[in-house]
Amino acid sequence: MFPELNSILNSTPDSFKSSDFILVSDRRADASFLIHHHLSFYLRAGCKVCFLGLVQSFSHYSAVGQRLGVSLAQAREKGQLVFLEGLKNSIGVILQEDTSQETQPLSYLRTPGAGLEGLFRFVERSVRQSGDGDAGESWGPPVLLIDDLSVLLSLGVSVGAILDFTLYCQATVCSELQGNMVILVRCEEEDADDDEEGSNLLRRGLVHQCNLALHVEGLPTGYCRDIHGQMEVWWRQGEETIYNQRKIFHFKVHDKGASFFARGTSSAVL
């Protein structure tokens, strides 16, 4: 996890806001480093994490997690982490070899028009499981992480079905179980007539639902070696902050973390 991001968002593994829906989005940039941050953050906080990894393998997240100081394999063994390996299991669904219960969450691969109820049931089962780790450890509030949701659009699932799915996840994880949710959405370039079904429509629908939106883009002035991009933090409705507040930070991703700074204060400039 990134300490500078923690201070920007005013949260630490020991004290963070619950019932939070955090939306991570990017446009022509890669915001997956924020997913790695939140994964290590919530594992350190001792929460029960349900991770839908739809675009990368478990070993990828494990390798990055190692650099950030958490062991995903250990967490999975202990029962703290439930990992849905989308890529590996999807072959089984498509070839219809494996008909066990594990394939139900990926039923959208065969029938994308039917919606994501199966995936929701998998999430619900995972977050409701009581902690039965070693010596009866009970984990903290549940956390749902999704990387990434926009890939479902390219598989034929409609924007409405995805928004229904996230509404149900928010109802169960955030409202009922007081847990948190972090979802990554990758957007395309904004078009003039953006009424069509697409990633931008999905992002707008998710921004309506979320409490905090982190949007990552490249610098508007072009490529820079020392600054990898800008991240906009948008605090939306919460109990204390009724008014929208938006701030932009620059960031640089390192081997073992990322540093964030206010605009114009990069070490290359000062």
Partner 1 sequence: MSVESCVLQGAEAGGFILIQDTVKCTGRGLLKCFINAALKRGEDVHVLGFESPETEVCAGLDRSCVQKLHFHKGFPDPLGWTRRSSFTVERFASQHITQLIKDTQQAKASVLVVDSLSLVLRHHDPLVFCQTLQELRKGGVIKTIIGLLHSDLHQQGIVGIVCYLASTVISVAPANNERHSVAKTTRRTKSGKVMQEEEYFSVCKDATLSVQAKPRQPGHVQKERDVSEADPTSNLTFNLRLSEEERKAKEKVALPFVFSQEKKSALLKPTPGSGRIVYEPDDNDDFDEEDPDDDLDV
Residue 205 is a binding residue for partner 1 (CB under 8 A) = yes
Among 208, 247, 256, 263, binds partner 1 (CB under 8 A): 208
Residue 219 is a binding residue for partner 1 (CB under 8 A) = no
Q: Which is nearer to partner 1, 87 or 171 (CB)?
A: 171
3-state secondary structure the chain: CCHHHHHHHCCCCCCCCCCCEEEEEEECCCCHHHHHHHHHHHHHCCEEEEEEECCCCHHHHHHHHHHCCCCHHHHHHHCCEEEEEHHHHHHHHHHCCCCCHHHHHHHHHCCHHHCCHHHHHHHHHHHHCCCCCHHHCCCEEEEEEEECCCHHHHCCCCHHHHHHHHHHHHHHHHHHCCCEEEEEEEECCCCCCCCCCCHHHHHHHHHHHCCEEEEEECCCCCCCCCCCEEEEEEECCCCCCCCCEEEEEEEEECCCCEEEEECCCCCCCC
Residue 237 is a binding residue for partner 1 (CB under 8 A) = yes
Residue 142 is a binding residue for partner 1 (CB under 8 A) = no
Residue 269 is a binding residue for partner 1 (CB under 8 A) = no
Residue 267 is a binding residue for partner 1 (CB under 8 A) = no
Q: Which is nearer to partner 1, 168 or 261 (CB)?
A: 168
Among 85, 102, 176, 188, binds partner 1 (CB under 8 A): 176
Residue 123 CA to residue 3 CA, distance in Å, equals: 29
Q: Which is nearer to partner 1, 223 or 243 (CB)?
A: 243
# binding residues, partner 1 (CB under 8 A): 25
Q: Which is nearer to partner 1, 72 or 162 (CB)?
A: 162
CB of 160 to partner 1, least distance (A): 4
Residue 195 is a binding residue for partner 1 (CB under 8 A) = yes
CB of 63 to partner 1, least distance (A): 35
Residue 160 is a binding residue for partner 1 (CB under 8 A) = yes
Q: Contact residues for partner 1 (CB under 8 A)? A: 117, 120, 124, 160, 163-164, 167-168, 171-172, 175-176, 195, 201, 204-205, 207-209, 236-237, 242-245
